[in-house]
């Protein structure tokens, strides 16, 4: 069974002559451990599709199932709980809590999950070390650069141990060295821990590492191809 399955997914905004079909008949399956990228020109539907997969927006028609659960039929309270335990999100805008330290921001999702304090602190420290922020984990977002804030957001998404990580332009605010390092970390996790990653991106650095490239145009899948990539170094 596919980890992610979409059938006939469409999204229409507006009414009558003002209708805009952001997505039209998307059918897609993503297997556990895939490292895949949604690509295409602006307005092709990448972010809309990512938001629907994450349960942040509802499709106008069609079905979305994640890990065997059809999320399009879940009541909002159940959908929120499902997102909390099954999905990780990395947004271009970071979405960090300003009054919390980097460490506390990474811990936050695990607090909501009800994980024990010692365990969540250990995991938060581990993933902040992994993204190169071990020395600044007590700083608040205002004391971090944009690139550092994005790395906190990546650590937060990974530390909660989701089955599927949805990343909307996660490298947009990173220089080449930091972007490459983060992508290598995520690539290793997809191989070693079977974490599934689905990116929405314009970044060629992401496309160069993606093992599957799904191209959207005018709300439809134009092409879907798999690419064999060399194995990234194992995470220490």
Instruction: Per residue of the chain (236 residues), give pLDDT as tens.
Output: 899 999 999 999 987 777 888 999 999 999 999 999 999 998 899 999 999 999 999 999 999 999 999 999 999 999 999 999 999 999 888 889 999 999 999 999 999 999 999 999 999 999 999 888 999 999 999 999 888 898 899 899 999 899 999 999 888 778 888 888 888 888 888 888 888 999 999 899 999 999 999 999 999 999 999 988 776 554 44
- The range of the structural domain enclosing residue 187 comes to 32-59+75-226
Structure-block tokens of residue 231: 């194995």
Q: Is residue 110 part of a domain?
A: yes
Residue showing tokens 């507006």: 14
Kindly give, in sequence order, each residue whose CB lies less than 8 Å from that of residue 234, ignoring residues fewer than 6 positions away.
Answer: 188, 192
Number of domains present in the structure of the chain: 1
Q: Is residue 12 part of a domain?
A: no
Structure tokens at 41: 């020109």
First to last CA, the chain: 31
215 is a domain residue: yes
Q: What is the DSSP string of 31-80?
A: -TT-EEEEE-STTSSHHHHHHHHTTSS--SEEEEEETTEEGGGS-HHHHH
Whether residue 220 lies inside any domain: the answer is yes
- 21, part of any domain: no
In a domain, 173, yes or no: yes
Query: Is 197 domain-assigned?
Result: yes
pTM: 0.91
Read off the CATH number of the domain in which 181 is found.
3.40.50.300
Cα angle: 129, vertex 203, 49; to 5 degrees: 95
Establish if 234 belongs to a structural domain: no
Tokens of 220: 């439809």
CA dist 225 and 2 (Å) reads 17
Distance CA 216, CA 40 (A): 5
Phi-psi map region of 130: left, alpha, beta (phi>0 left; psi -120 to 50 alpha)? alpha
Q: How many CB atoms are closer than 10 A to CB 9? A: 24
What residue spans of the chain are helical by DSSP H? 46-53, 76-86, 102-113, 117-130, 146-159, 176-192, 204-209
């Amino acid at each position: 069974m596919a980890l992610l399955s979409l059938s006939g997914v469409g999204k229409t905004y507006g009414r009558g002559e003002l209708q805009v079909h952001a997505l039209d008949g998307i059918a897609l399956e993503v297997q556990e451990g895939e490292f895949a990228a949604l690509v295409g020109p602006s307005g092709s539907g990448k972010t809309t599709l990512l938001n629907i997969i994450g349960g942040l927006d509802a499709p106008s028609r069609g079905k979305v199932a994640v890990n065997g659960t059809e999320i399009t039929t879940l009541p909002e309270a159940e959908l929120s709980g499902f997102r909390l335990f099954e999905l990780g999100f990395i947004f271009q805008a970071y979405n960090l809590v300003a009054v919390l330290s980097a460490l506390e921001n990474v811990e936050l999702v695990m607090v909501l999950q009800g994980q024990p304090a010692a365990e969540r602190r250990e995991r938060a420290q581990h993933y902040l070390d992994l993204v190169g922020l071990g020395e600044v984990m007590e700083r608040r977002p205002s004391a971090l650069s944009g690139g550092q804030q994005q790395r906190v957001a990546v650590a937060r998404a990974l530390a909660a141990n989701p089955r599927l990580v949805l990343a909307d332009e996660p490298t947009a605010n990173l220089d080449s060295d930091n972007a490459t390092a983060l992508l290598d970390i995520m690539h290793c996790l997809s191989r070693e821990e079977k974490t599934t990653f689905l990116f929405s991106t314009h970044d060629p650095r992401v496309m160069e590492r993606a093992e599957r490239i799904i191209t959207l145009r005018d709300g439809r899948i134009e092409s879907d191809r798999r690419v064999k990539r060399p194995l990234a170094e194992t995470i220490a």
